[in-house]
Amino acid sequence: MMLKWECFTVNNSETQKKITSSDPDDVMHSSIFKLAWPIFVQSLLSMFLGYADTLMLSGYNQTAVGAIGNANQILSFLTLAFTIISSASGVVVAQYLGAKQKDKINQIYTVCIAFNLVLSLAISVLVFLGSRALLSLLHTPEEMMSDASNYMRIVGGFVFTQAVLDTLFRIFQSNGKTVIGMVISLGINIINVGGNYLFLYGPLKTLGLGSSGVAVSTTVSRVLGLVIAFVFFSVFIDGKISIRYLVPFPRDILKTLLRLGIPTAGESISYNISQLFVTGFVNTLGIVAINTKIYAGILSNFAYLYSISVAMATTIIVGHAVGAGDYDFAYRRVNKTMRSALIVSVAIACLNWLISPITFGLFTSSPGILDLKPQIMELGQQIMIIAIFLEMGRTSNLVIINSLKASGDVKFPTYLGIVSMWGCSVVCGYILGIVCGLGLPGIWAAMAADEIIRGIVVAIRWRRGTWRGKRVVSGE
């Protein structure tokens, strides 16, 4: 008997389609603010989901903070395999909707979900069985190994839920339904924070699970979020996910997705691999540098939240515009986005530096780290100054590189990223931070140089218009 995900299909009545479908022209001409503010909130919530464990553990056990930081570094890298398909689905769906060609949309939805589910299940098994071996590659200190390994086995063992959830988020965004991702992320965060409190400071504290309890809370929240995402898909998206679309298997769709997805995800994969090396360098500098990097990373990420949300909103519009063949509209929208994104992200980075004595003081307020507080605060303020320059380049990368990918120009960002990331972040980071003895500031300066160089190059490429004519959709 052929199985179907019938509970994830949409009512076929014309009234329901009229209510739930997105007019490509409406999405293309939507305001950036309308699309971006839910993505901004979702990005904030998604970032907080990863940091909530660290923040809540900071007052519980400082060794666990470093352990979770190392574990999340590896998990973040492994989950990049899912972006090969999910990122490509965003490009393909947006362009097909923009071109008003919906005949293959259901197959695209189903192939994306099925492929990422199979791939992520394999990765879940890998993480569960090889957590200690993976952590050893990062030179994780022995005192952190137990907490990090337990966290990775629980969260990583259920990483397939995150893979499918990310794919559904891409589908929602490409259809202009950015609010859905925000609502689901809010629910996941509420469940996660509540669970963390129960295990660390509430009634379940007596179990003594610590980081393992935090991992259980994170996993349960994502499972429930995935269930809710499928319900929202069935109600608000004009499409279906059914196993019948895989028989016979649509190889042409998978081939297209892989052709776009592999180079599209290549830039992110290259970045995260380089960051694994950078983390390895930092781990040799001691616990002050390790925890300062984690705390500085949390603060620095707030600086680019506005940029990433506006960049993703612009990507949706660019995909629809390129699918419709309106390249001039896409060009103007990206240029407009760049100006505002640079101003706001750099302003936030400056504010981050000014208030860093307060924020780093909050991170280091627990009794177990008071003796290291002066060193971490001094080092952290140095890092936040360098982060201002880093944001100048990163903002350009977020807006323009994502727009290049949305237009179908997917190879160039990957080639550029490989050369710049490894040449600057890794090689120069090692030379400045380790060989020259500059420590964490030297490593951070090298990462800033990487972002600035790539930002300048992609800005030139966008202005030259090399990306025009590279759309995925064929025909008029």
Query: Which residue type sits at 250?
Result: P
Contact between 410 and 263 (Cβ < 8 Å) = yes
Name the DSSP letter for residue 470: -
pLDDT at 16: 39
pLDDT in tens, the chain (476 residues): 333 333 333 344 343 333 334 454 578 888 888 998 999 898 888 877 767 777 777 666 666 777 777 788 788 778 878 888 888 888 889 988 888 877 788 888 999 999 999 999 999 998 888 888 888 887 777 777 887 888 888 988 898 999 999 999 999 999 999 999 999 999 999 998 999 888 888 888 778 777 788 889 989 999 999 999 999 999 999 888 999 999 888 888 888 888 888 887 777 778 878 888 998 899 889 888 888 888 888 888 777 788 888 899 999 999 999 988 899 999 999 998 898 889 988 999 999 999 988 888 887 766 656 667 788 888 999 999 999 999 999 998 889 999 999 998 988 888 998 899 999 999 999 999 999 999 999 999 999 999 999 999 999 999 999 999 888 876 54
Per DSSP, the residues of 24-51 read HHHHHTS-HHHHHHHHHHHHHHHHHHHH
Contact between 132 and 116 (Cβ < 8 Å) = no
* Structure-block tokens of residue 145: 């190994």
pLDDT at 204: 85
Name the DSSP letter for residue 472: S
Per DSSP, the residues of 126-194 read HHHHHHHHHHHHTT--HHHHHHHHHHHHHHHHTHHHHHHHHHHHHHHHHTT-HHHHHHHHHHHHHHHHH
Angle between helices 105-137 and 62-78 (to 10 degrees): 140
Reported residue count of the chain is 476
Contacts with 459 (C-beta within 8 Å, 6 or more apart), sequence order:
338, 396, 400
pLDDT at 15: 38
* Structure-block tokens of residue 387: 């982060």
**Rounded Cα–Cα distance for residues 386 and 389 (Å):** 6
Per DSSP, the residues of 313-377 read HHHHHHHHHHHTT-HHHHHHHHHHHHHHHHHHHHHHHHHHHHTHHHHHHHHT-SGGGGGGHHHHH
Q: What are the CA-CA distances from residue 445 to residues 107, 350, 382, 391, 451 (Å)?
A: 45, 16, 10, 12, 10
HSE value, Cβ hemisphere, 13 Å, CA-based, for 143: 9
CA torsion angle 391 397 399 402 (round to 10):
-150
Going from N- to C-terminal start, the domains of the chain cover: 26-464
* Helix then strand then coil, % of the chain, to nearest 5: 85, 0, 15
Give pLDDT tens digits for 267-277.
777 887 888 89
- From 380, 399, 406, 409, select the one nearest 451 (Cα to Cα): 399
b/e per residue, 302-315, with b = 16+ CB within 10 A?
Answer: bbbbbbbbbbbbbb
Residue 102 CB neighbours (<10 A): 15
CA torsion angle 53 59 61 67 (round to 10):
30
State CA 325 to chain mean position distance: 29
b/e per residue, 340-352, with b = 16+ CB within 10 A?
Answer: ebbebbbebbbeb
pLDDT at 6: 37
State CA 14 to chain mean position distance: 36
Global pTM value: 0.78
**Rounded Cα–Cα distance for residues 214 and 193 (Å):** 9
Residues 261-264: contacts with CB under 8 Å, at least 24 apart: 261/83, 261/84, 261/85, 261/86, 261/87, 261/88, 262/84, 263/410, 263/411, 263/413, 263/414, 264/83, 264/84, 264/87, 264/88, 264/91, 264/405, 264/410, 264/414
